[in-house]
């Protein structure tokens, strides 16, 4: 896929709560094709302590409004600067980067499960919307530390049934996603997951034990985002591969995780 570098205009920058913002961007040209699971490299200007672009997953593309959504967790100075962007300001992106989630051809409509944790739910919204538009009826299982960390629930509900876990039990079932009762009640044929590393390991272990194909979206530290620097590598059955070009989506069969 052809990659681009261009300036985008901030249409909206919504602070979801103290730690997250939803940045909606647009541009004059029609947004080119972007696949679920792909990401963009966001340039951050004027940040004292950061230097590199920030890799952020495509959260959603609103084709009617020609908008790209980025769901951003405020972690350091780079992302905090992005949260301060005002409507009308511009931000430079490299896009679309990375591979994508694979959409299986031979399963029942209802048997795809998308498991997200924290800000890792971001790429699953766009994946869910794409699955729905292709006739699937995806199920979402979203985990968070507390109720306030559950992000964009009403958006997910547009594309499928949503189950929730929180660590304090104040929303949905108490505990982790891998303990949710839905996993015992129903068999799934394909699992996609993105979230904190311990969560993805637990989901991958569950999928492997249950014999369910599973794709994870990794968030390795990255510099260039286009396969030039070889910094973001993951050790796989094929050796060190760049998460930015051969990922971020990787089938668990290929990973060398101890699961």
Partner 1 sequence: MANLKVSIGNLSLKNPVMTASGTFGYGTEFLDFMDLSCIGGVFMKGTTATHREGNFYPRMAETPSGMLNAVGLQNKGVDYFISHIYPEVRKYDTNMIVNVSGSTIEEYINCSEKINELEDIPAIELNISCPNVKQGGMAFGTNCQSASQVVKAVRNVYRKTLIVKLSPNVTDITEIARTVEAEGADAVSLINTLVGMAIDAEKRRPVLSTVTGGLSGPCVKPIALRMVYQTHKSVRIPVIGMGGISNVTDAIEFILAGSTAIQIGTYNFIDPAISVKVVDGINEYLDRHGFNSVEEIIGGLEK
Nearer to partner 1, 19 or 220 (CB): 220
- 2 in contact with partner 1 (CB under 8 A): yes
The residue from 4, 27, 62, 110 that contacts partner 1 (CB under 8 A) is 4
Residues in 41-60 that interact with partner 1 by CB under 8 A: 43, 48-53
Q: Which helix (H) or strand (E) holds 130?
A: helix 122-133
- 250 in contact with partner 1 (CB under 8 A): no
The residue from 153, 205, 233, 259 that contacts partner 1 (CB under 8 A) is 233
Interface size with partner 1, residues (CB under 8 A) = 30
Pairing state between β 112-117 and 190-194:
parallel
Question: Cβ 133 to partner 1, closest distance in Å?
Answer: 27
Question: Cβ 220 to partner 1, closest distance in Å?
Answer: 6
Q: CA–CA separation, 17 vs 105, rounded Å?
A: 38
- 222 in contact with partner 1 (CB under 8 A): yes
Phi, psi values for residue 89, rounded to 5°: -70, 160
Q: Enter the tokens of residue 71.
A: 């769901």
Q: CA–CA separation, 79 vs 239, rounded Å?
A: 31
Phi, psi values for residue 55, rounded to 5°: -75, 125
Q: CA–CA separation, 137 vs 111, rounded Å?
A: 8
Nearer to partner 1, 215 or 234 (CB): 234
Q: Residues interacting with partner 1, by CB under 8 A? A: 2-5, 43, 48-53, 94, 220-235, 239-240
């Amino acid at each position: 896929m052809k990659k681009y570098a261009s300036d985008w205009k901030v249409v909206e920058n919504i602070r979801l709560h103290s730690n997250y913002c939803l940045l909606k961007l647009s541009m004059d040209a029609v947004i080119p094709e972007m696949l679920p699971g792909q990401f963009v490299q966001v340039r951050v200007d004027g940040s004292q302590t950061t230097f590199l672009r920030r890799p952020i997953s495509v959260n959603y593309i609103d084709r009617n409004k020609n908008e790209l959504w980025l769901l951003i967790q405020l972690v350091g100075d780079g992302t905090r600067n992005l949260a301060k962007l005002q409507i009308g300001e511009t931000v430079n992106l490299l896009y679309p980067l990375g591979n994508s989630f694979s959409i299986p051809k031979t399963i029942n409509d209802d048997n795809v499960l998308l498991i997200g944790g924290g800000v890792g739910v971001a790429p699953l919204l766009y994946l869910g919307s794409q699955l729905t538009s292709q006739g699937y009826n995806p199920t979402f299982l979203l985990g968070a530390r507390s109720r306030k960390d559950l992000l964009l629930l009403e958006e997910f509900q547009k594309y499928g049934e949503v189950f929730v876990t929180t660590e304090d039990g104040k929303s949905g079932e108490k505990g982790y996603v891998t303990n949710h009762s839905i996993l015992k009640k129903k068999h799934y044929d394909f699992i996609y997951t993105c979230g904190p590393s311990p969560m993805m390991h637990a989901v991958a272990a569950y999928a492997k034990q249950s014999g369910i194909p599973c794709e994870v979206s990794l968030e390795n530290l990255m510099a260039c985002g286009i396969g030039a620097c070889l910094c973001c590598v993951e050790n796989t059955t094929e050796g060190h591969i760049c998460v930015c070009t051969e990922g971020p989506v990787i089938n668990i069969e290929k990973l060398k995780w101890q699961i």
